[in-house]
Amino acid sequence: MIINFFDRHPKQDELAEKNGMSRSTVQRALKELEELGFISVTDRLGRGLPNTYKLNH
């Protein structure tokens, strides 16, 4: 799989708005995807940067 590092990654607020749900629902869904092993999350908040999400194979 080739990843284009120049692709724009939407913020949680944007995902929520485009899908007609609240930001907390998006956060719960991302947490569940992580717990099920579908995604890996890199927490970069300590550095003032947004989290990154990677699809697992």
Taking alpha carbons only, the member of 4, 55, 9 closest to residue 34 is 55
Mean pLDDT for 25-44 is 91
8-27 in b/e form (b: 16+ CB < 10 A) is eeeebeebbeeeeeeeeebe
What is the pLDDT at residue 12?
Answer: 87
- Please report whether residue 20 resides in a domain: yes
Q: Which distant-in-sequence residues (6+ apart) come within 8 Å of 57 by Cβ? A: 1
What tokens were used for 54? Answer: 């990677």
- Please report whether residue 5 resides in a domain: no
What is the pLDDT at residue 11?
Answer: 84
- Mean pLDDT, the chain, rounded, equals 82
Question: Which range of residues forms the domain containing residue 46?
Answer: 12-55
- Please report whether residue 47 resides in a domain: yes
Q: How many domains does the chain have?
A: 1
